[in-house]
C-alpha cells in the first residue's frame, strides 16, 4: 500500500485478544437478571459504542438500572481482565513500531473506554505508541458510520486517502472504505461466522501481523 501516511487501528479484536471478555460480561450481566444472551443481541452489540450499547440493553430488557449504572457495572466487570490478562495479538506491537520507524503516524479508533484501554496498553508495552486515540463516544455514532475514522484522520493531520484502517468487524471495514481509506481485515475468532464477508469487504486480509512485517521486509 503506497502513499500511506497514517495507520488507524481498532482495539478489541484487532490489536488485542479481548473479545472473550465481552462475551463473559454479557453472559454474566444478563444471567444475574434471569436473561439469556441471544445471537441477535450479540450481533447488535458488535459495532455499538459503549453508551449506545448500555442504552440498547436497558431498553431491550426493560432494566431498572440507568444507562450510567449499566456502563459502570460493565466497566468494573471487565477491568481486571483488561488490566491483568488481555494480551496483544502476536506481532501487533512489533508492526506498529516498524510503521513508526518509517514515519507513519499511528491512530486508534475504538468503541472501548479509556478506563479499560489504558491499563491494557500498559500491560502490553504499547503506551506512547499512538499519536491519537479516539473514541466513538466522541463522534456520537457507531462504526457503521465512517465518522470515527475521519475524526481520527483529522487528529493525525492526514487525508482519508492517505490512511489505512485495521479492523476486525465488517461494519468498520465497509465504513472506512466508504470514506476512501484502504482497509486491512485482521482475523479474530469471534468473527469466524463472518469471515468470507470480511475478506470481501477488505483490501487485504491477515491472520497475523507477522504477514505485514514480512511484507515490509522486517
User: What are the residue ranges spanned by the domains of the chain?
Assistant: 6-18+87-216, 19-84
The CATH class, in words, for 19-84 is: mainly alpha
Note whether 89 and 209 are within 8 A (CB).
yes
- The predicted structure's pLDDT at residue 47: 72
Joined together, the cell numbers standing for residue 89 give: 495479538
pLDDT of residue 44: 85
pLDDT at 2: 67
Residue 66 vs residues 35, 52, 62: alpha-carbon distances, Å: 17, 12, 10
DSSP 134: E
Task: Kindly report the pTM of this predicted structure.
Answer: 0.90
CA 8 to chain centre: 10
User: H helices then E strands: how many in the chain?
Assistant: 11, 6
150 in helix, strand or coil?
helix
> Which regions of the chain are under pLDDT 70?
1-2, 217-218
Among the listed residues 23, 14, 48, the one whose alpha carbon sits nearest the alpha carbon of residue 137:
48
pLDDT of residue 49: 80
The fourth-level CATH superfamily of domain 6-18+87-216 is HAD superfamily/HAD-like (3.40.50.1000)
What is the reported pLDDT for 194?
Answer: 92
User: What is the reported pLDDT for 37?
Assistant: 93
Predicted local distance difference test score (pLDDT) of residue 215: 82
Contacts for 70-74: CB closer than 8 Å, 24+ residues apart = 73/29, 74/25, 74/29, 74/50
- Per-residue confidence (pLDDT) for residue 43, from 0 to 100: 84
Q: Looking at residue 196, what is its pLDDT?
A: 96
pLDDT value of residue 175:
97
The DSSP symbol for 65 reads S
Instruction: Write down the residue that cell numbers 482519508 correspond to.
Output: 160
Q: What pLDDT sits at residue 160?
A: 97
Amino acid at each position: 500500500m503506497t502513499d500511506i501516511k497514517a495507520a488507524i487501528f481498532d482495539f478489541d479484536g484487532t490489536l488485542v485478544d479481548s473479545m472473550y471478555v465481552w462475551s463473559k460480561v454479557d453472559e454474566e450481566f444478563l444471567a444475574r437478571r434471569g436473561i439469556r444472551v441471544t445471537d441477535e443481541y450479540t450481533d447488535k452489540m458488535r459495532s455499538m459504542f459503549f453508551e449506545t450499547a448500555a442504552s440498547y440493553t436497558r431498553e431491550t430488557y426493560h432494566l431498572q438500572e440507568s444507562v450510567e449504572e449499566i456502563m459502570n457495572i460493565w466497566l468494573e466487570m471487565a477491568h481486571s481482565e483488561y488490566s491483568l490478562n488481555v494480551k496483544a495479538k502476536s506481532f501487533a506491537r512489533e508492526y506498529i513500531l516498524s510503521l513508526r520507524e518509517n514515519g507513519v503516524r499511528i491512530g486508534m479508533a475504538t468503541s472501548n473506554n479509556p478506563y479499560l484501554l489504558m491499563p491494557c496498553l500498559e500491560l502490553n508495552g504499547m503506551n506512547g505508541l499512538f499519536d491519537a486515540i479516539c473514541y466513538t463516544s466522541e463522534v456520537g455514532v457507531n462504526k457503521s458510520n465512517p465518522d470515527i475514522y475521519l475524526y481520527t484522520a483529522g487528529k493525525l493531520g492526514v487525508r482519508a486517502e492517505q490512511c489505512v484502517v485495521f479492523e476486525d468487524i465488517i461494519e468498520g471495514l465497509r465504513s472506512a472504505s466508504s470514506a476512501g481509506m484502504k482497509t486491512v481485515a485482521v482475523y479474530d475468532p469471534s468473527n469466524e461466522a463472518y469471515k468470507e464477508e470480511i475478506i470481501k469487504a477488505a483490501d487485504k486480509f491477515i491472520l497475523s501481523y507477522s504477514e505485514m512485517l514480512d511484507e515490509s521486509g522486517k
